[in-house]
Chains A and B, each alone.
Chain A
Amino acid sequence: MNSTVKTKLADIISNHQDSLLTEWIKEQQAQLGHQRGVLSENELKAQCTEFLQLIKTAILNEDQNIKASHWEALRNMLGDLSRSRAEKGFTPSETANFVFSFKKPLFTQVHKEFTTDANALIESIWSVSQLLDKLGLYTTEVSQTAREEVILRQQQDMLELSTPVVSLAEGILALPLIGTLDSARTQVVMESLLQSIVQTGSTFAIIDITGVPTVDTLVAQHLLKTVTAARLMGADCIISGIRPQIAQTIVHLGVELGNVITKATLASAFKIALEMQGMKITRVNPVTKI
Chain B
Amino acid sequence: MDRIPILRMGDFLLVTIQVDMHDRLAMTLQEDLTNKISETEARGVLIDISSLEIVDSFIGRMVSNISAMSKVLDAVTVIVGMQPAVAITLVELGLSLPGVRTALDVERGMALLQGSQRNFAIDNEEIIDGSQHE
Contact = CB atoms under 8 A, between A and B. Distances in A.
A158 interface: no
Interface in A26-79: none
A85 interface: no
A190 interface: yes
Given A191-B84, A195-B84, A228-B96, A234 B91 contact: no
Contacts of A198: 83-84, 104
A75 B132 CA distance: 97
A229 B104 contact: no
Contacts of A231: 96, 102
A231 B91 CA distance: 10
Interface majority SS on B: helix, strand, loop or mixed?
mixed
B105 A230 contact: no
B8 interface: no
A13 interface: no
B88 A234 contact: no
Nearest to A195: B84
B96 A232 contact: yes
B67 to A, nearest CB: 12
Interface majority SS on A: helix, strand, loop or mixed?
helix
A229 B102 contact: no
Nearest to B82: A233
B103 A229 contact: no
A209 interface: no
B14 interface: no
B104 A233 contact: yes
Interface residues of B, number: 20
A230 B79 CA distance: 13
B100 to A, nearest CB: 8
B44 to A, nearest CB: 15
Interface in A119-136: none
A203 interface: yes
Residue of A203, A228, A234 with highest tally of chain B CB at under 10 A: A234
Interface in A203-234: 203, 225, 228-234
Contacts of B104: 197-198, 201-203, 233-235
Contact of A232 (B91, B105, B108, B109): B91
B80 interface: yes
Interface string B59-102: 00000000000000000000111111011101110001100001
B84 A233 contact: yes
Contacts of B96: 228, 231-232
10 contacts: A195-B84, A228-B96, A232-B82, A232-B97, A232-B102, A233-B84, A234-B79, A234-B103, A234-B108, A234-B109
Interface of B: 79-84, 86-88, 90-92, 96-97, 102-105, 108-109
Interface of A: 190-191, 194-195, 197-198, 201-203, 225, 228-235
Q: Which 9 A-B residue pairings sit nearest by Cβ, starting from the closest?
A: A194-B84, A234-B103, A234-B102, A229-B87, A234-B104, A232-B87, A229-B91, A228-B96, A233-B82
Given A234-B80, A234-B105, 12 more contacts: A191-B88, A194-B84, A195-B84, A202-B104, A232-B86, A232-B90, A232-B91, A232-B96, A232-B97, A232-B102, A233-B83, A234-B103
